[in-house]
Structure 1
């Protein structure tokens, strides 16, 4: 029997608690963040229709890290790129879903990049 990591279980509980309170609509979709040790992912999701409207990550083919090669710099670049894709899809307002992570470091950097890119939340 495999042991479960207590951090993973605690994060899953936080995600469920957050998702009870926020849902994305077609007028104001949800900007969801997931991070692994190496990469960061962002999706804009319409929960009513059950569709992903835009997505971006550090493993995307269009992603190119600029001068700042750190993980937080890459997260900010992903935030700016997801904002660009959202604007192309006609989305300006989103609800930020931090995915159970604390609003610090790469998550904060991604949200700041999205705000600089023109998203409002």
Structure 2
């Protein structure tokens, strides 16, 4: 165990007193009553998906969608993109679109990047139909921007729904 990490709890990667579990055991050694103190540090590192979930929970505390200004939540898997417009007050989904839908993909099917752009355009059409002028928050669920996410963002920012 690296003792330099323990002595610097305010440093990144250091161990603070909250991260330490203590346990004690009493035993008798040659007529002396002794207490053995065991200190065990816990691991604070999270995987990428756990970190994304934590980030998402933290963001959700700050932003809520209304019927006039819904929350836009986008999930990007390895191959597909899913977008939903959510009214958190009434607990309703106002729009759902993904790159898997045949109406968006077209016939013959296009690439997922083109389909992500079409999802953005379909989202804008739905917003215009519902008289929605603004989006309260853009929730990427803690995931990084990739090519599909970029194509989607460009499509909705052309119409003023996302400021870049």
Q: TM-score range by the shorter chain?
A: 0.7 to 0.9
2:62 to 16, 21, 40: 21
Aligned to 1:34: 75
CA displacement at 1:102 relative to structure 2: 2.5
CA displacement at 1:100 relative to structure 2: 0.8
Matches within 5 A, 1:64-103: 64=105, 69-94=110-135, 95-103=137-145
CA displacement at 1:74 relative to structure 2: 2.6
1:53 to 94, 98, 117: 94
Q: Tell me the matched-pair count.
A: 116
RMSD of aligned C-alpha atoms?
2.4
More strand by share: 2
Q: Distance in 1 between matches of 2:102 and 2:113?
A: 19
Larger RCO, structures 1/2 (Cα 8 Å, 6+ apart): 1
5+ long unaligned stretches in structure 2: 1-45
TM-score, normalisation: structure 2: 0.62
Larger Rg: 2
